[in-house]
Amino acid sequence: MKISYNWLKNYIDLDPVEHTPEVLAEVLPLLGFDIEEYEKLGPPQFENVVVGQVLEYDQHPDADRLRCCLVNTGQEGEPHKIVCGAKNFNAGDKVMVALPGAVLPGDFKIKKSKLRGQPSEGMMCSAKELKIGQDHDGIMILDPEVALGTPVNDLYQDGDTVFDLEITPNRVDVLSHLGVARELSARFGLPVKYPEVKASTQNAANGDSLLSEVEVSAPEFCPHYTAMCIKGVNVGPSPKWLKDAIEATGQRSINNVVDVTNYVLHETCQPMHAFDAAKIKGGKLVVRMAGEGEQITTLDEKERTLTAEMGVIADGERPLVVAGVMGSVDAEVDEGTTDVVLEVAYFNPTSVRATARKLNLSSDSSYRYERGVDPKGAVYASLRAVDLILEVAGGTVDGDMMVEGAEPATISEVELRPDHLRRFIGFDVSDDEVQAVLESLELSVSRHDEADGSQRWVVGIPSFRGDLQRDVDLIEEFVRVYGTDRIPESEVVARGIKENDHRIYTVNAAVADYLTGQNFDEAFLYSLRDPEETKFFFGEESFKVLALDNPLQSDQSHLRPSLIPGLLDVLKLNSARGTGATRFFERGHVYREVKGKMMELISVGFVIVADQVSREWRQREVADFYTARTLSGNILEIAGQAASKLSYQPIGECKLWQGGHAAYAGDFTRMGFEVTCGLLNVATLKDRWDLATPVIAGSILMTPKFFERKAKRGRHSGVSNQPASAKDLALIVDESVLAGQVQNDVAKFAKKAAQGFACESVRVFDVYQGDGLPEGKKSLAVSMSFRAADRTLKDKEVNAAFDGIQKLITEKTDYQIRK
């Protein structure tokens, strides 16, 4: 079932920030409606795709399924010769044409070529080929008023998102936009805006009636039948809003009258059929069972043989509709139609299902009828369709609605005891909360006090919810809308957990405690990401390796290789909503190729707005590379990795990290982990996330084997009560030499040179480049601290060690000691 986001907004006020398509993609599965796929359509951004007009066409001399067309696009010179396989156009139709040089979705490049020996200088396109609709049954037929040469980008400036929902058989009411709007209304607490219908019969035409009689001779098959007549319609192409809606559901626009019947079907879940009144023999419609062996040619142009168990709508001579399934070519509405008869009815679901199966013929109508449409929905849907036909095709209503039979009875009330509900769901909830949820689903609640002090509720069931028949159905509805994510957690004691799994769990929990203590908010995100994002940040190879074979959604088709892009989505959303939250982290799995093998890695990621103004007393908070390195190191310490001696290597220019302002350490093969931290690429933040402020981030990736080894934590000892002695040293080194490397070298030499005491710390505290230094060189200032555990060091001891360090530097390295 395809649902258009733009169409939904006609019935519920979806906030562009709070209720985006992405939010709906998360909420709908929680309500019980899985999304098979959702696709963003337009607005298109094409070059050389314009409006053209088919001047003439001939059959391809060597291919039965191809036509050779002459198409005018309003450009100077001869019309374009285009070979096309579609059959749904005529000479004079305006169509969308991709000319040589155009590049269509899927990197499909249009160029001059020959098809079966005939020249083709472009392509006439369907809506799906241009990603502006779902229809792929034929090429787009445009409004005849559209000017030749108009670019597609100018015609379709509004995008849309189409959800393909998997609806369970019992929820036929959700096979419509109004049905989905009702569900979202319950979730978001927003009112549903039902389209108003007018008293369409007020404009009744004078003269002979188009239809003299409606007869139902098979009431068991059709207990309720309605018909309305409209005179003087002008059948032609649908207006853009109607055509866009129809094509969003994957259908092809036929004409304005037929499109209205399909529109109301997808709006209300009520199938209907429009007849050309002039083609109804004898001015009479009869609902009856078919004669054994009776023939009908359905709208798919196939002749079908009927049996006596199949219902039909017939005139005085022949069947015109396989009732509830499909109409025939004998009474279809076309451009020559001036008067219309509109039927809306309720047919027996079991009979429709059997007919569709025997004829091997399924349609949008039979799909709904066989599941049981709203028994009381025919009148509203009929008036709604008449209003729309008058709007888009003109005409006047001919007489009152003709009605045969009565609306079938439905279950109108179900009893529910709140105490039973609470015992059933296993957690406590107030009566008022339960009532609020049920009423949000358009159920009425009447409370009755019992003698034992308990309550008995009588819940009124609307006719469109035929699936609600027992109290357990109401309990299920409450839990579904209340939200399984809101059900209180209860501790489950697991048995036989591996030691490694237990360590991962405890580390995860400890990391969460640490980061929340550092004022971070935790995010919980999907493991699937957009393919374009994957290719942009991680390259073509990762794009191929991380792709799912059968993704449910086109923009969630790749396993994520990093947590950082998802956290930036969260940061952008919170920035747009003005929440003030600027620190986020996530724990989860990411996927990388390591030594040619795909690995699932355990990851922790965090992001921080680098420079933020606070309303609190601190006024301003600044984060930098060292903030990220400290946080990353502490996370590694929690995981069992001594981080104090890690040597970080700088990252060059890349699309995610800012070159020269970010670094990494560790490797998967030798150490089982990798940490990257620092400043994110400023230009990427602006272009892809519209974030103007710098962002600091950290990403820690750990293999499962990392947790199998013995934890290596930093060693701690008591602080000596003896004083320390400090020495500073300036070294001239090549620009390419890392400060960490120099620091490690000096620490190694200090360990050898200090005899009977320790060099307890070595750190680079200053970098200088400029006057007084050779080109390509820099000066690093190094501070060393010496201390003995049992005595105060003498100057000669410290100086001897300092001299020994300088000697080793001169002998073992290319560093120059700056005097």
Please report the DSSP string for 532-558 in residue order.
HHHHHHHHHHHHHHTB-SS-SSTTS-E
Residue 593 known to bind ligand: no
Tokens of 342: 């509109």
Q: Provide the token pair at 405.
A: 């039979």
Residue 374: phi and psi, rounded to 5, are: -60, 115
In angstroms, the Cα distances linking 149 to 94, 102, 111, 146, 153 are 10, 14, 18, 9, 11
Any residues with CB less than 8 A from the CB of 786 and at least 6 apart, and which? 724, 725, 726, 727, 754, 757, 758, 759, 760, 793, 798, 801
Q: Are 518 and 506 in contact (CB under 8 A)?
A: no
Element (H, E) at 802: helix 795-812
Determine if residue 343 is labeled as part of a ligand binding site. no
Report the C-alpha gap between 267 and 194 in whole angstroms: 10
Question: Is 387 labelled as part of a ligand binding site?
Answer: no
Q: Decide: 221 and 289 in contact? Cβ < 8 Å.
A: yes
Q: Which residue's structure tokens are 């005899």?
A: 755
Query: Contact, 291 vs 275, CB < 8 A?
Result: no
* DSSP label at residue 597: E
Question: What torsion do the CA atoms of 299, 300, 305, 310 make, to the nearest 10 degrees?
Answer: -60
**Beta-carbon count within 10 A of 141 CB:** 22
Calpha distance 411→470 (Å, rounded): 10
Q: Does 93 belong to an annotated binding site?
A: no
What beta strand segments (E) does 484-537 contain? 521-522, 528-529
Is residue 789 packed enough to be buried (19+ CB in 10 Å), middle (13-18) or exposed (0-12)? exposed
- Find all residues with CB under 8 Å of 165, minimum gap 6, and list them: 1, 2, 3, 28, 33, 34, 35, 36, 174, 180
| Distances in whole angstroms, Cα of residue 37 to Cα of each of 34, 299, 312, 558 | 9, 29, 36, 14
Distance CA 586, CA 511 (A): 10
Cα separation, 740 vs 800, whole angstroms = 25
Strand locations in 551-710, DSSP E?
558-559, 583-594, 597-609, 611-613, 620-622, 649-650, 657-665, 673-680, 695-702
Radius of gyration of the chain (CA): 37
The structure tokens listed for 48 are: 């050389």
The DSSP-derived string for 213-231 is EEEES-TTT-SEEEEEEEE
167 touches 65 (CB < 8 A): no
| Three-class DSSP category at 677 | strand
CA distance 694 to 680: 7
Conformation bin of residue 202: beta by default, left when phi > 0, alpha when psi is -120 to 50: alpha
**CB burial string 666-690: b at 16+ within 10 A, e below:** bebeebbbbbbbbbbbbebbeebbe
What is the token pair recorded at 215? 């007869």
Query: Is residue 285 within 8 Å of 211, Cβ to Cβ?
Result: yes
Handedness of CA 485, 490, 494, 500 (dihedral sign): positive
């103004």: which residue's tokens? 613
Using an 8 Å Cβ cutoff, are 412 and 502 in contact? Answer: no
Please state, in angstroms and rounded to a whole number, the distance separating the CA atoms of residues 129 and 125.
Answer: 6
Binding residue ranges for Mg(2+): 467, 473, 476-477
Binding residue ranges: 467, 473, 476-477
